[in-house]
Chains A and B, each alone.
Chain A
Amino acid sequence: MSGNEHVLDVRDLSVSFRTARGKVRALRHVDINVPRNKIVGIVGESGCGKSTLINTVLRLLAPNAVIEDGSEVIFQGDDVLKMSNSQLTDLRGQRISMVFQDPMTALNPVISIGTQMTDILYRQKIPMAQKRKRAADMLAQVGIPDAVRRLDDHPHQFSGGMRQRICIAMALMMNPSLLIADEPTTALDVTLEAQIIHLMKELREEFECSMLFVSHNLGLIAELCDEVIVMYAGEVVEQGEVHDLFHRAQHPYTRMLLECDPARIEETRQELPTISGSVPDLIDLPKGCIFSPRCPHRYEPCNESPPDHYAVSDQHSARCFLVRDGR
């Protein structure tokens, strides 16, 4: 596949955090891509490195983060990891935009919605009235009634669902090529969640942007995404098209995620099931397969060395010796 068809190409990305206890190896050799006009979902338990991954893409990592040598994050042909500050400012909000998890804290409480929205357009040399009109149009588009009048309101005057709509509108202000959403509905109740997902589907048609969608919720991923990436403890363990992944899951971890209740795959609401055992310590990693301490199918090679990504089919691969050995 040529790089041209991918909006985003993450290659061999490793990120660690320096802590008092030692180096937390939050991401190790992650390879993912987002094809043009596709929605790619990322699932995985809490702490598996989903936020670290997307924060790396926008270079918004905590100051104690170290991006290891050899990592590449290619966005539309440019390596984000090599960008200068001014290039990053140019990238953020304009070419890649982001919607965060918690709409209650994502907006500045003392600045009006209109100002926060028009500020994003600071790069465009157009009159203020025109910027405000664009902001109001965007608000109307995400379903905020009476948008023109509400531009001068402040975040606390909106409900949680409304605020997430505003965040989405803000993210789309500059028509970005890639929209990253980090668990955009986790803080909302089921009805609001369904509304927001519906909205995102609509906007996807409208704005033709690619999307990287992070979620705990397998049902949402199944409903919204074209491709899925399953992460475990800082590694990609399985990736493929949504249908393949939900119907022909290979990695024991993915299967355990799904097996808890196969019927619920079709439902919109599904919490990530709890799996016995816990995520390994990211400072002191097991020698073999990262999942081996919790894996019911563990056999001899698993403790020796880490498995590679083995192709299941053209678009589908899993990081498990079972696939290599055809078991």
Chain B
Amino acid sequence: MLLYTFRRLGLAVLIVCLAMLLLLAAIHMVPGDPAGIALGPRATPEMREAFKAKMGLDQPFVVQYVNFLTNVVTGDLGVDVWSNRPVSTMIGEQLPHTIALAIAGLGWSIMIGIPLGCFSAVHRNSWIDKLTGVLSVGCIAIPSFIVGLYALLLFAVNLRWFPAIGAGENGDLGDQAMHLVLPGLAVGLGWVGYLARFVRTSMLEVLGENHIRMARAYGLPRRRITYVYALKLAILPTIALLGVGVGGLISGAVFAEIIFARPGVGKMVVDAVNTRNYPIVMGGVLVTTMLFALSTLLSDLLAAWIDPRVRQGL
């Protein structure tokens, strides 16, 4: 297990390094001269050159990449083109909100999606199964910003159950949690549908396996068979899916951040893209990639921890 953890960690680092390479290449391919935009139309060519030199943009690509890598390792993500504040500090302020939102979205989808999928599988072809099927597809099809807008209108504006905008008082955890409920729902609802369908499929597959029939033949209680004997196996592909899915969840969070006027990395990056604020874009995308690599890493480790065949085969 330890060796596996290290190997898996190495893979995660490799993924991040590759992502950084692509990121750097992508920045170079996007039209628009960063120096020109940063300094405005009246800047002289000399000023632009000086700016490029300061940002390291005149270096060969390989050198830029190596500098990028070493800077990241030392925690230096450059400075904001406009305010000159360190990007790492700025991201550090936004990141907790993004992570909290992702976890809230994940929480919604896991809490509703997994039991729903189990229930559908156990009562397959019942009217409840068919209804959840339709609802799930509905959840998947509705874009998260629509969910966000309607949730905002209904629960925050009309019913006033939850606060409408912002991230809540600093330091007041209860208030912050209340501010997470609706954005979390907006981000997670699509995943409720995905998970319900996915869990249903893998659950049905597992429920048809021999050892489940055997457990039934031994008279084990139905609940124990469903939620321990079957779910422990059926959850394995779901964990892998979630590991990859968190990436999508974080990018989907941008809409929720805008609608609910929440701080977050996604919103920061979108703003920075519009002004070609390279260090912020690169830092934001890089951190998102790291989160993605981290979540797949965690999901793989979790799956290995649950499945003794993997755990002991390592």
Contacts and interface: CB of A to CB of B under 8 A. Distances in A.
Interface of A: 58, 60, 85, 88-94, 97-98, 100, 102, 105-112, 116, 119-120, 122-123, 154, 156-157, 167, 170-171, 173
Interface string B275-314: 0000000000000000000000000000000111100100
Contacts of A108: 211-212, 215, 229, 232-233
Nearest to A171: B218
A58 B217 contact: yes
Given A92-B219, A120-B218, 5 more contacts: A93-B220, A112-B308, A154-B309, A171-B218, A173-B218
B119 to A, nearest CB: 17
B304 to A, nearest CB: 11
Given A154-B308, A154-B309, A100 B214 contact: yes
B170 interface: no
B172 interface: no
Contacts of A112: 308
A206 B307 CA distance: 36
A102 B211 CA distance: 10
A249 B219 CA distance: 39
Interface of B: 209-222, 224, 228-229, 232-233, 306-309, 312
7 contacts: A98-B217, A109-B307, A109-B309, A110-B232, A120-B218, A122-B221, A173-B218
A123 to B, nearest CB: 8
Nearest to A108: B211
A105 B219 contact: no
If over half of B's interface residues share one DSSP class (helix, strand or loop), that class is named, otherwise mixed; here it is helix
Given A90-B219, A111-B232, A120-B220, A60 B213 contact: yes
Contacts of B307: 109-110
Contacts of B220: 93, 119-120, 122
A154 B217 contact: no
Contacts of B232: 108, 110-111
A327 B77 CA distance: 99
Contact of B233 (A94, A100, A109): A109
A93 B221 CA distance: 11
B1 to A, nearest CB: 14
A110 B228 CA distance: 10
A156 B308 contact: yes
Contacts of B216: 60, 92
B218 A106 contact: no
Nearest to B229: A108
A102 B217 contact: no
A277 to B, nearest CB: 31
Given A100-B210, A102-B210, A154-B312, A110 B233 contact: yes
Contacts of B214: 98, 100, 106-107, 167
Nearest to A89: B219
A157 B313 CA distance: 10
A104 to B, nearest CB: 9
A109 B211 contact: yes
A157 B211 contact: no
A94 B221 CA distance: 13
A106 B219 contact: no
Contact of A157 (B212, B213, B215, B312): B312
Closest 6 CB pairs of A and B: A92-B219, A93-B218, A93-B219, A105-B210, A154-B308, A98-B217
A92 B216 CA distance: 8
Contacts of A107: 211, 214
A105 B211 contact: yes
A170 B217 CA distance: 11
